[in-house]
Structure 1
Amino acid sequence: MLIRFAVSNFLSFDGKQELSLEAGRARRNSNRIYTNRRLRLVKGEALFGANGSGKSNLVKAMRFVQAVVRSGFPRGFSNSYYRIKDENRVVPTEFEVEILCEDKRLCYGFSTVLYTGSIETEWLYEFTPSGLKKYIFSRDVEKETFEVGEFFKGKDAIAKVKNYGEDSANDHENLFLTIINRSKGKMYSEFPELKILQSVFEWFVSKLTISFPEDILKGYPYFRDSNLQEIADILNALGTGIKNLRIVEIPQEIVKNKIPEELYNDIIVDLEKTNAQMKKEGKEATPSIMARAIKEFYTFEIDENDRVSVKTIEFEHEAPNVYFNLNEESDGTARLLDLIEILFKVSNDSIYVIDEIDRCLHPAMTTKIIKLFLQMAESRNTQLIITTHESRLLKDEILRNDEISFMLKSLSGSTIIKSLDTYQLRSDKKVYEALFDGTLDALPKFDNEKLQGIIDCNLNGN
């Protein structure tokens, strides 16, 4: 689970800003708070703010960290520092992510000069029950030093980590967390104590799912033939008019023209690797991967004869046996497919980050989806972080105060993250009222005099 995400000198973030998912003191809806002996976390967090306040930039920061951990710097990163200050070009950009992993409170972070694409420092440590930092490793690329902390006890395990660490001490392009997880399965079998490094890596790669409205997505394990009727029932209950779904096979050439070639090839490679692994383990299940473009939905399958097929989903409405493909459905229905995966997939310890969750959805649909997620969060340790403009979430008092944060702009133009808990509203003050009476200072700031001047000029024909 995610505890805290911190970022500085990235896009609209200048100084260090933090998003915390630690629960406050509120007692309302406490049944959906994750609690262990020393930690209380919210499972939902809604980020509000005016257009241009930096909501999407926070999501981009999370995706950037995920990309660098997974495979290195993504394209177009060199100008992603806070460019309002020219001197920030040479100032390190820093990310720090605090997570709950293997029942341990861990903190992973790194700093990099984006303009030159140079990693400078990297660290991973555990917060002990007493609050002390127990380092797992730390790396200073500028000084070409790598140190193993007190976390590991076995001498051979320590020597193994130190050996890989010292080899990467002057590697400015790759994170040590990435390097230590490249084809190291045998190492983790020989030294089980080191698996914490694998678990942290997998947290970023597999547990964290980040979605922008325009994304082409892979995954969708919930959308199996056996679940079709349940999915249809969900869509019908949400008022879409859909009654049934069916799966039909389509030619691969059609799919190749619909999605990027690189993505298509990646899916086929992943499918073949999964199939080979399952055969090696003696499993008979047919592996499949699902992918969706904006208005397309595909299931890639490989059978026992290694034949790859592609299927899609079609929708039946009021008229029996008349089916429509996803491209003929509304944008809102297509959006719901993403959200159904998050709501109903049986998962634990997953973190979903969705930018503009209300895109293409009726306000009542957005609030219903959030209510359903929070209801199901009572029995699952799954977290949902969203950006939204949907103020009805505040008006209907669906969220706890510690499940609400605002993205604000400073006078210099940088983004500030401010939890609603920090405003210390009076107990009788409604959040929705506070938003619109100026107490929260989170609405767009209009220059009404300038706008009126523009209107007057147009009306006068100037």
Structure 2
Amino acid sequence: MLIQFSVSNFLSFNEKETFSMIAGKARKNIDRVFSNKKIKLTKCEVILGANASGKSNLVSAFQFAQSVIVDGLPRGFSNKFFRLNPENKSVPSEFEIELLCGSKIFVYGFSVILSTGSVLEEYLYEKISPSSKKMLFSRDTALGLFDVGNYFKSNDAIAKLNNYGEDSVADQEVLFLTIINRNKGKMFSDFPELQVLRNIFEWFSDRLNISFPDSILTGYPYFTDANLDEIAELLNALGTGISELKIVEVPVEVIKSKIPDEFYNRIVADLEKANARIQTETDDRPRIMARSYKEFYTFEIDANGKITITTIEFSHENKKVFFDLNEESDGTARLLDLIEILFKVSDDRVFIIDEIDRCLHPSMTVKVIELFLSMAKKRNTQLIITSHESRLLASEMLRNDEICFVYKTAQGKSIINPLEKYQLRADKKVYAALFDGTLDAGPSFDEAKLSRLSE
């Protein structure tokens, strides 16, 4: 689970800003707060703010950190520093993620000069207490130093880690956490103590799911024959009119006419590689989701290497008539992108969704969040969203520590402020404070200029 995330010198974030999921002292809806002996965490955070305040940039910072860890520096990274200060071109951009993995708290961070793509520092440690930690590793490429700390006990495991670490200090283009998780399956089986490094990596690659308005969460993995009835029932209860879903096979020729040969061949090649790694006949067969606007297809491969492609069709009041996804409304398509957060398959994941209210009726947005909060009482899923939907505050269903604001200063810097920082009076409604200037969450209008322009 995510505890907090810090970023500096990235897009509209200049100095270090920290986004936190640490729960406050409120007793309201305490049953949906995660709690153990070490920490209490919220499972939902709603981020509000004016247009261009930096909400989406915060989501981009999460995505950038994930991309660097999982795949390396993404395309277009070199100009993502805070460009309103020219000196920042040579200043490191820093990212730090504190997370709960199992029963332990880990802190992972790295710094990189984006203009040159040079990774400078990287570290991972277990946080025992605010003043005590156990280092797993630290790396300084500028000084050519790699250090295995006091976390590991096995001398052989330490020696193995040191070997890879010392080789990595000359490589400023990639993170050590990435290096140590590339084709190292035998190392983790030979040295089980090092498995923690894979667990941390897999938190970023598998547990953290980030979605922008034009993307989906994780590719509809919940669309299987086993839960189609549950999906249809939920969609119907949300007023879409959908009464039934079915999986239908699509001829390969049809798909080839819709997507480039290069894309199709890459999917098939990836499936064949994954199929070759299957150990037993009972293992699940590899599948890949391909998605474009209002169209998605599931590619599967069987033990004999045969490719099967399927999609979903929907029926409404007349159960004998089925429709493709591209015949459904934008709102229904958006719901299909989002409802994964409401199923058990989402347990123990972190979903970050930018502009969750896109294409949704305001009441639908509120209802989806309301359903998630109800289900959060039984699951350790975390949901972080950006939104302009003020009804989320008017409903008063959120705890104060589940509300966060991002605003931009006159110097163009984005600032993250949790609601609790404003210390509202006990009788002050958050919804009212959103519009009376108490909170830094709305647009700032130049009334004099607007008046002149309207003459």
TM range (shorter): over 0.9
Distance 1:216 1:47 in 2: 19
Structure 1 residue aligned with 2:372: 373
Structure 1 residue aligned with 2:390: 391
1:365-395 per-residue CA deviation (whole Å, 9 max, x = no partner) reads 0000001111111111110000000000000
1:134-149 equivalences in 2 (<5 Å): 134-149=134-149
Distance 1:314 1:67 in 2: 33
Query: Deviation at 1:305?
Result: 2.5
Structure 1 residue aligned with 2:30: 30
Query: Deviation at 1:285?
Result: 4.3
Structure 2 residue aligned with 1:268: 268
1:55-134 equivalences in 2 (<5 Å): 55-129=55-129, 131-134=131-134
Higher mean C-alpha displacement, 135-144 vs 125-134: 125-134
1:92-137 per-residue CA deviation (whole Å, 9 max, x = no partner) reads 0000000111321000000000001100000001101474121111
Query: Deviation at 1:261?
Result: 6.1
Distance 2:107 2:216 in 1: 30
Higher mean C-alpha displacement, 19-28 vs 442-451: 442-451
SS in 2 for 1:128: strand
2:337 is the alignment partner of 1:338: yes
1:208-230 per-residue CA deviation (whole Å, 9 max, x = no partner) reads 00011112665322110121121
2:362 is the alignment partner of 1:363: yes
Report if the CA contact (8 A) 1:259-1:293 is conserved: no
Structure 1 residue aligned with 2:381: 382
SS in 2 for 1:19: strand
TM-score normalised to the size of structure 2?
0.97
Query: Deviation at 1:449?
Result: 1.6
1:54-453 equivalences in 2 (<5 Å): 54-129=54-129, 131-215=131-215, 218-256=218-256, 258=258, 264-278=264-278, 280-283=279-282, 285-453=284-452
Q: Percent identity?
A: 60
Distance 1:181 1:110 in 2: 16
SS in 1 for 2:137: strand
Displaced runs of 4 or more, over 6 A:
none
Report if the CA contact (8 A) 1:220-1:291 is conserved: no
Distance 2:259 2:84 in 1: 36
Gap change, CA 1:262 and 1:141, over 3 Å in 2: farther
Report if the CA contact (8 A) 2:139-2:146 is conserved: yes
Query: Deviation at 1:262?
Result: 6.3
Distance 2:100 2:296 in 1: 33
Gap change, CA 1:201 and 1:264, over 3 Å in 2: farther
Structure 1 residue aligned with 2:42: 42
Distance 1:5 1:42 in 2: 14
Distance 2:62 2:257 in 1: 31
Please tell me the residue identity of whatever aligns with 2:441.
A
Distance 2:398 2:310 in 1: 39
Higher mean C-alpha displacement, 256-265 vs 119-128: 256-265
Please tell me the residue identity of whatever aligns with 2:152.
F
Distance 1:341 1:261 in 2: 30
Distance 1:302 1:369 in 2: 34
Report if the CA contact (8 A) 2:209-2:218 is conserved: no
Gap change, CA 1:219 and 1:266, over 3 Å in 2: farther
Gap change, CA 1:163 and 1:264, over 3 Å in 2: same
Distance 2:258 2:216 in 1: 11
Query: Deviation at 1:437?
Result: 1.0
Please tell me the residue identity of whatever aligns with 1:359.
R
Higher mean C-alpha displacement, 292-301 vs 365-374: 292-301
Query: Deviation at 1:274?
Result: 3.6
Distance 1:361 1:11 in 2: 28
Higher mean C-alpha displacement, 268-277 vs 445-454: 268-277
Gap change, CA 1:150 and 1:285, over 3 Å in 2: closer
Please tell me the residue identity of whatever aligns with 1:32.
R
Distance 1:368 1:30 in 2: 20
Structure 2 residue aligned with 1:460: none
Report if the CA contact (8 A) 2:209-2:217 is conserved: no
1:116-166 per-residue CA deviation (whole Å, 9 max, x = no partner) reads 110000000110147412111101100010011000111111111111000
Query: Deviation at 1:65?
Result: 0.7
Distance 2:31 2:358 in 1: 29
Gap change, CA 1:224 and 1:26, over 3 Å in 2: same
Please tell me the residue identity of whatever aligns with 2:399.
R
SS in 2 for 1:231: helix
Distance 1:263 1:70 in 2: 21
Distance 1:273 1:137 in 2: 33
Query: Deviation at 1:264?
Result: 4.4
Report if the CA contact (8 A) 2:66-2:204 is conserved: yes
Report if the CA contact (8 A) 1:220-1:289 is conserved: no
Distance 2:72 2:262 in 1: 18
Higher mean C-alpha displacement, 337-346 vs 373-382: 337-346
Report if the CA contact (8 A) 1:54-1:415 is conserved: yes
When the two chains are superposed, the root-mean-square deviation of aligned CA atoms in Å is 1.6
Report if the CA contact (8 A) 1:218-1:289 is conserved: no
Higher mean C-alpha displacement, 108-117 vs 128-137: 128-137
Report if the CA contact (8 A) 1:217-1:292 is conserved: no
Gap change, CA 1:22 and 1:391, over 3 Å in 2: same
TM-score normalised to the size of structure 1?
0.95
Please tell me the residue identity of whatever aligns with 1:43.
K
Please tell me the residue identity of whatever aligns with 2:304.
N
Gap change, CA 1:395 and 1:263, over 3 Å in 2: farther
Query: Deviation at 1:286?
Result: 4.1
Please tell me the residue identity of whatever aligns with 1:362.
H
Query: Deviation at 1:444?
Result: 0.4
Higher mean C-alpha displacement, 246-255 vs 443-452: 246-255
Give the gaps of 5 or more residues in structure 1: 457-462
